[in-house]
Amino acid sequence: MLFGKSNDRLKKIVVYTVAAAFVLSTGIIGVYALKSRPYEPVPYASASEVAVVNGKSIGYYEFVQTYRYVYQQYPFFSPGESEYWLRSYVLELMIDDELIRAEAEKSGIKVDKGEIDEAIKSLKAMYAKEDDFYLYLQSVGMTEAEVRETVKANLMTQAYIEQLQSAAAVSDEEVAAEFEARKAEDETLVFEEVADEIRSDLLEQKKSQLLANRKEELKAAAQIEIKDPVINAIRAAEAEDWETAAAHYQQAIDEYEIDPYLHMALARVLEKLDRADEALASYQKAAEVDEGTNAEVQLALGMAYQDRGMNEQAAEAFRKASEIDGETDGYLHTILKSEFEALGLEEDAAREQEIIDRIAEEMARQEEEYQKWLDEYMKSLESEQIEGDSSEQSSEAGEQGNSDESQQ
Instruction: Please check the confidence at residue 211 and state whether its pLDDT lies above 80.
Output: yes
**Residue 304 included in any domain:** yes
- Asked if residue 270 and residue 206 are part of one domain, the reply reads no
pLDDT winner (highest mean) among 130-134, 141-145, 298-302: 298-302
Query: pLDDT confidence of 392, banded at 50, 70, 90?
Result: low
Q: Which of 13-22, 42-51, 326-335, 350-359 has the lowest mean pLDDT?
A: 13-22
- Asked if residue 148 and residue 18 are part of one domain, the reply reads yes
Instruction: Please check the confidence at residue 212 and state whether its pLDDT lies above 80.
Output: yes
**Residue 396 included in any domain:** no
- Asked if residue 201 and residue 81 are part of one domain, the reply reads yes
Task: Give the pLDDT score at 271.
Answer: 97
**Residue 372 included in any domain:** no
Task: Give the pLDDT score at 72.
Answer: 76
Residue 125, domain extent: 7-186+196-220
Span 120-128, average pLDDT: 89
Could you give the number of structural domains in the chain?
2
Task: Give the pLDDT score at 406.
Answer: 56
Task: Give the pLDDT score at 180.
Answer: 96
Span 228-251, average pLDDT: 95
- Asked if residue 353 and residue 237 are part of one domain, the reply reads yes
Instruction: Please check the confidence at residue 293 and state whether its pLDDT lies above 50.
Output: yes
- Asked if residue 200 and residue 91 are part of one domain, the reply reads yes
Please give the Cα distance from 230 to 84 (Å, whole number).
7
Q: Which of 19-33, 168-182, 265-279 has the lowest mean pLDDT?
A: 19-33
What is the CATH number for 309?
A: 1.25.40.10
- Asked if residue 234 and residue 203 are part of one domain, the reply reads no
Q: What are phi and psi of 367, to 5 degrees?
A: -65, -40
Instruction: Please check the confidence at residue 137 and state whether its pLDDT lies above 90.
Output: no
Share of the chain above pLDDT 90, in %: 62
Q: Give the closest residue to 132 by CA, choosing from 32, 37, 63, 40.
A: 32
- Asked if residue 39 and residue 164 are part of one domain, the reply reads yes
**Residue 99 included in any domain:** yes
More confident call, 315 vs 380: 315
- Asked if residue 214 and residue 238 are part of one domain, the reply reads no
**Residue 319 included in any domain:** yes
pLDDT in tens, 315-356: 999 999 999 999 999 999 999 999 999 999 999 999 999 999
- Asked if residue 14 and residue 146 are part of one domain, the reply reads yes
Instruction: Please check the confidence at residue 394 and state whether its pLDDT lies above 90.
Output: no
- Asked if residue 245 and residue 208 are part of one domain, the reply reads no
- Asked if residue 253 and residue 210 are part of one domain, the reply reads no
Q: Which of 57-71, 237-251, 252-266 has the lowest mean pLDDT?
A: 57-71
pLDDT in tens, 152-198: 999 999 999 999 999 999 999 999 999 999 999 999 999 999 999 99
Query: pLDDT confidence of 399, banded at 50, 70, 90?
Result: low
